Homo-oligomer: A and B are copies of this chain.
Amino acid sequence: MTTPKKNWKTKLFVIIYGTNTPAGKLFDVILLYTIIASILLVMLESVKSIDQHYHTFLNISEWIITILFTVEYILRVVTAKRPWQYIFSFYGLIDLLSTIPKYISLFLGGIHALAALRALRLLRIFRILKLGRYLGASNNLLNALKASRAKISVFLFAVLIIAVILGTIMYMVEGEENGFSNIPKSVYWCIVTLTTVGFGDIAPQTPLGQFIAALIMILGYGIIAVPTGIVSVEYSNQASSTKNSDQNPAEIPQKICPNCLAENHREGAKFCYQCSEKL
């Protein structure tokens, strides 16, 4: 009889993938802190002076976290009803890629090129954003951003066109001798100026260049109003439409299909909307 085993797997599944049981929440919170700790370790390792003094401590800590992540990965694969679907999912690949580099370093040593691979671990922070659903479920802000996404994209595309045209003009006006060595660099400078960042590593030197730069700045200063206006109005609409509705989606417990990992099932749904697995 496999019932006890299946029960064990189902329980683990609910803890690891689910978020609406006490154990599931605890698992997610521990995972969150482990990821933050692992990010801090990657950060500290990149600082040479710290790495020299605390190399052993950092190395051991990272091994502990790597093993924890390995165990978690194996459990995720084992408990999922369709393991391959998980393995090739976005999060599955990140989980794998963020765990492997440390093992590879065993064979190849602490080669500098591996630093890049290890930093992939950082992408696991997206898993934290899964928790954002609690914060964001009833969040008008997210809806406002979604509603204004198309308009902001058009706006940013227009900004890009302006940057290309003005960047080319600046390349012709200032030329290579003043740091505007090619058109892509000029466009980069134009974006730096238009967004009011203004590094100053490249700055116009000719009077005409400075005049055009002043126009670009005033333009950038003026058009920053556009995305702000869009978000304000959309958010205002979202906020007023929420007042009228009395549903609070944050209250609805979130179910997850143990078969295909689909989320966001309808309230009271008995079967998964994707694979018809019983919930």
Residue ranges of A at the interface with B (Cβ–Cβ < 8 Å): 39, 42-43, 46-48, 115-116, 119, 122-123, 125, 128-129, 132, 135-136, 139, 141, 144-145, 151-152, 154-156, 159-161, 164-165, 168, 171-172, 181-185, 187-188, 191-201, 203, 207, 210-211, 213-214, 217-218, 220-222, 224-237, 239
Residues of B within 8 A of A235 (CB): 229-230, 232-233
Q: A271 to chain B: closest CB distance in Å? A: 34
Q: Is the CB of B188 within 8 A of A214?
A: yes
Assess the B207–A198 pair: CB atoms within 8 A: no
Whether the pair A184, B47 counts as a contact (CB closer than 8 A) is yes
Asked if B229 and A144 make an inter-chain contact with CB atoms under 8 angstroms apart, the answer reads: yes
Determine the distance from Cα of A181 to Cα of B145 in the docked complex, in whole angstroms. 35
Would you list 30 pairs from A and B whose C-beta atoms are within 8 A, ordered by A residue? A43-B184, A46-B183, A47-B207, A48-B181, A119-B171, A125-B161, A129-B161, A139-B151, A139-B154, A141-B155, A141-B229, A155-B222, A184-B211, A187-B214, A188-B211, A191-B217, A195-B217, A196-B221, A199-B200, A200-B200, A201-B203, A221-B224, A221-B227, A225-B227, A225-B232, A226-B231, A229-B235, A232-B236, A233-B235, A236-B236
B172 touches A119 (CB 8 A): yes
How distant is the Cα of A128 from the Cα of B164 in the complex, in angstroms? 13
Q: A223 CB to closest chain B CB, in angstroms?
A: 8
**Residues A182 and B119 in contact, CB atoms below 8 Å apart:** no
State whether A184 and B228 are in contact (beta carbons under 8 Å apart), knowing that A203-B201, A236-B236 are contacts in the complex. Answer: no
